[in-house]
Amino acid sequence: MTGRSYLPSRRAALLSGGGLLVGAGAASAGWALSDPAPASASVTVSAVIPPDDDLMREHGVLKRVLLCYREMITRAQAGRPLSAAHVQGAALIIHDFIEGFHEGLEEGYVFPRLAKAGVLVSTVDTLLVQHARGRVITQFLLAHSTAGQLAGAGVTTRIAAAMQAFVTMYEPHEAREDTVVFPAFRQAVPPAELADLGQHFADLERQQFGTDEFTAMVDRVAGIEQELGIYDLAQFTPVVSPYEPGE
């Protein structure tokens, strides 16, 4: 197994077992995984993330964009204006990273292996159709969300409806992939081949985005969350005391 080395990166931090600086850019921007390490700290990690784990991490980015979409839907439904920068920023993460990379890995490497094994055939067909529909929605969002367009009558409502359709489709989509499709893929692929594929995914990431694409994408979505006021995780914690079930 050939290792890879990212210095410093969230990927490396995750692989190393925690406690590491996320990256100078992320830390200075105000969001980090954990307590900052000294500025001179660097970490060398030689490990390959299994391909299905890698895809599930990328689903985490997708989930966070869906959360941004939800917040924008809520604002639109309350009659509040949408920011072109927020719509475009969130949709571009989907376009560039999820649709332009993550789904290509699924379509090129995961789904064909399941087809070859003859498992989850109709599920995969549905996932493929949903990828295609999602791309159409994203194209709509990107084409209709300039500041001038968002000022037009009814445009915000249409944008919110498109976002809602996207969220409604992708929440069960990614949940099914994480819980059914990826486990079936892992079962269908011999361990050595799985390791090679993990390395290949890492190489493709590097070719397409540079050395630290995952951290960059997490930072991009975190920035939008901050501007939307939904970055602070604690705000989602419900008050449960006193709590009486059934009340």
Partner 1 sequence: MPTALGCAAALTLAAGCSAAAATGAPGNSAAKSAVTVKVDARSVPGVGTVLVTSTGYALYMFEPDNRHSVSCTGACAGTWPPLQLPAGAAPAAGPGVKPSLLGSDPDPAGGRVVTYDGWPLYTYTGDIQPGQATGQNIDLNGGEWYVIGPSGQPLIPAP
**Which CB atom, from 52 or from 99, has the smaller least distance to partner 1?**
99
Compute, in degrees rounded to 10, the torsion defined by CA atoms 126, 57, 59, 122: 10
Cα 236 to its chain centre, rounded Å, is: 19
**Which CB atom, from 207 or from 237, has the smaller least distance to partner 1?**
207
**Which CB atom, from 8 or from 134, has the smaller least distance to partner 1?**
134
Nearest distance from C-beta of residue 115 to partner 1, angstroms: 6
Nearest distance from C-beta of residue 1 to partner 1, angstroms: 14
* Interface stretch with partner 1, choices 73-81, 82-90, 96-104, 180-188 (CB under 8 A): 96-104
Spatial distance between the Cα atoms of 10 and 12, rounded to a whole number of angstroms: 5
Main-chain dihedrals φ then ψ at residue 48, nearest 5 degrees: -115, 125
For partner 1, the binding residue among 83, 139, 146, 226 (CB under 8 A) is 139
Under the binding rule (CB under 8 A), the answer on residue 113 touching partner 1 is: yes
Place of tokens 């290509």: 104
Nearest distance from C-beta of residue 42 to partner 1, angstroms: 28
Contact 21, 37 (CB under 8 A): yes
Under the binding rule (CB under 8 A), the answer on residue 54 touching partner 1 is: no
Nearest distance from C-beta of residue 188 to partner 1, angstroms: 11
Long-range (24+ apart) CB contacts under 8 A made by 192-198 are 194/50, 194/51, 195/1, 195/48, 195/50, 197/51, 197/109, 198/48, 198/49, 198/50, 198/51, 198/54
Nearest distance from C-beta of residue 139 to partner 1, angstroms: 6
Closest-CA residue to 103 (of 180, 188, 204):
204
Contact 67, 94 (CB under 8 A): no
**Which CB atom, from 104 or from 223, has the smaller least distance to partner 1?**
104
Under the binding rule (CB under 8 A), the answer on residue 112 touching partner 1 is: yes
**Which CB atom, from 63 or from 135, has the smaller least distance to partner 1?**
135
Report the run of H or E that residue 77 belongs to, with start and end. Answer: helix 51-77
* Interface stretch with partner 1, choices 24-32, 159-167, 204-212, 226-234 (CB under 8 A): 204-212
How large is the angle between the packed helices 51-77 and 191-209, nearest 10 degrees? 50
- Which token pair is 184? 């079936």
| Residues 173-202 as x/- pattern, contact with partner 1 by CB under 8 A | --------------------x--xx--x--
**Which CB atom, from 213 or from 225, has the smaller least distance to partner 1?**
213
Residue ranges in contact with partner 1 by CB under 8 A: 95, 99-109, 111-113, 115-116, 124-125, 128-129, 131-132, 135-136, 139, 142, 193, 196-197, 200, 204, 207-208
